[in-house]
Amino acid sequence: MSVEQVTIENSNHHASDGTWTPSTWRTKKINQNVTYEDKESLQKVVEKLNHVPPLVTPTEINKLRHQLEQVALNKAFLLQGGDCAELFDYCSQEPIESKLKVLLQMSLVLIWGSRIPVIRIARMCGQYAKPRSNEMEMYEGKEIHSFRGDIINGYEPTDRQPDPDRLLKGTRQEYQTIVDRLTDTLDFMKTIGADSPFTNTLNSIDLFMSHEGLILEYEQCMTRLLKDPETGSQKWYNVGAHFLWVGDRTRQLDEAHIEYFRGIRNPIGVKVGPTMQPEELKKLLNIVNPDKEIGRELSKVIHTHKNNASKLNGVHFELTGEGVTECIGGSMELSQVDLEQNYKTYCDPRLNYEQSLDVAFLIAKYCEKERNESLPAL
C-alpha cells in the first residue's frame, strides 16, 4: 500500500485557547491501544516518566519548525529515514554509527544535486512501537499478543505480555550515543581541515529525531508546558522528539491520536493512505493546523509532482546503514533469492546502505537536471 506523509507546522492554537491539555485524548476513542494487566506498575512507570529530563529542547524544536518552513518554500529539501521499528539492542555504537553515516552521506549527495540545504530527520531514539492489524495472533495453537515493538513487549513468543517497565528503557542511552558519534564526526572534519573559514558550515550538524507518536501514555508524559524562547509565552512541547507523526491507522478525525497531536507545538506529520478522501484530508489539516502556518509538504514520487506542476521537497525512507538484504533491486541487483542472505528486520523491510545511496543519487541527478533546465541560456 502506498502511503504518503503530510508534514505540518502545528499552530498550537487549541493549546492556547484553553480547550486542550496533554490528557484530553483520554476522552476520545483510541485505536492501537495497549492493554496492560498490571495497572499499578503502569502508574508507577507513568510517574517516573513525568519526571524524565527532556531529550530535546524548545529551541531545537523551533529551529526545525523554521527549517521546515524553508522546505515548504522550495528553499530546502527534507530527508527523513531510519528503521521501521527500532530495538533496544540498537542502542550501541555500531548500528547508530551506520545509520548516521548513511543519512549524512545521503544528505551530501542531495545537496550536490539540488544546491539547497538538506534538513535531516532520523527515525531514531523513540521508534520502538509499531501498529498492528490484530492485537492477538495464534502461535502453536495458543493465542498470544502480537509483537508491538520493544517499548511494549518482546519478540519471543514467551515474552509477548505488554510490560509497562519497557516504557522507561533505551531512549536516553541512544541519544547519548548519537551525540558521541556526531562529536567524533566533527572532530574528523577538523582533522582533515574541513573546518577552515571557507567551510565553516561544517562545524555543526543539524540532525533531528523523530518517531511515530503511537503510545499516548508515553507521549503525554513527555509533553511539558515550557517557555517558547522566541515569544516568551508558555506552550506545550513534546520533549521526547523533535518531530512526531500520526500513522495511517490512528489518524481518525474525532479520535484520540488527532486530539493529542492537535495541541503540541512540535512540527508533526500525518501518514495518508489510499483510503483517505480529499475532503477528509482537508478536515484533518483544519484540525491540526487551523491557523495555516507555513510548513506543510506532501511527499510523492518525482514524476507525479512534475506532471502536476509541483515539486518534490522531501523523502522519507525506512533504511539502515547495515548490509542487510531486505529489499530487492539497486546497484547490487539484489533479487528475491538474495533476501535470505541477511534478512534481519523484525518489522518492515529496509533499504541497505548501498540502496539508500542509490536512491539519493537518483534524486540528486533529477534535481541537478531540473536545476540546469531552469538556468537561463548563455
Domain range list for the chain: 4-31+58-122+207-372
- The annotation places the binding site at 84, 123, 271, 318, 348
CATH number of 4-31+58-122+207-372: 3.20.20.70
pLDDT digits (tens, 9 = 90+) for 207-241: 999 999 999 999 999 999 999 999 999 999 999 99
Task: From 262, 246, 202, select the one nearest 10 (Cα to Cα).
Answer: 262
pLDDT at 373 (0 to 100): 73
Q: 338: exposed, middle or buried (C-beta count within 10 Å: 0-12, 13-18, 19+)?
A: middle
All 3 cell numbers of residue 273?
493512505
The binding site for phosphoenolpyruvate consists of 123, 271
Contact between 17 and 135 under an 8 Å Cβ cutoff? The reply is no
Per-residue confidence (pLDDT) for residue 60, from 0 to 100: 95
Give the DSSP letter string of 235-260. Answer: EEEETT-SEEEE-TTS--TTSHHHHH
How far are the Cα atoms of 23, 241, 354 from residue 121, in angstroms, in the given order? 27, 10, 19
Per-residue model confidence (pLDDT) at position 181:
67
| pLDDT for residue 245 | 95
- What digits encode the pLDDT tens for the residues 22-40? 999 999 999 999 999 999 9
Annotation: binding site for Mn(2+): 84, 318, 348
pLDDT of residue 66: 93
Cell 495453537 -> residue: 141
Q: Which residues of the chain have pLDDT under 70?
A: 1-18, 170-179, 181-204, 294-306, 374-378
Q: What is the pLDDT of residue 303?
A: 60
C-alpha cell at 248: 495511517
- Cα 54 to Cα 61, 144, 168, 225, 318, distances in angstroms: 12, 35, 13, 12, 26
Asked if 66 and 106 touch (Cβ cutoff 8 Å), the reply is: no
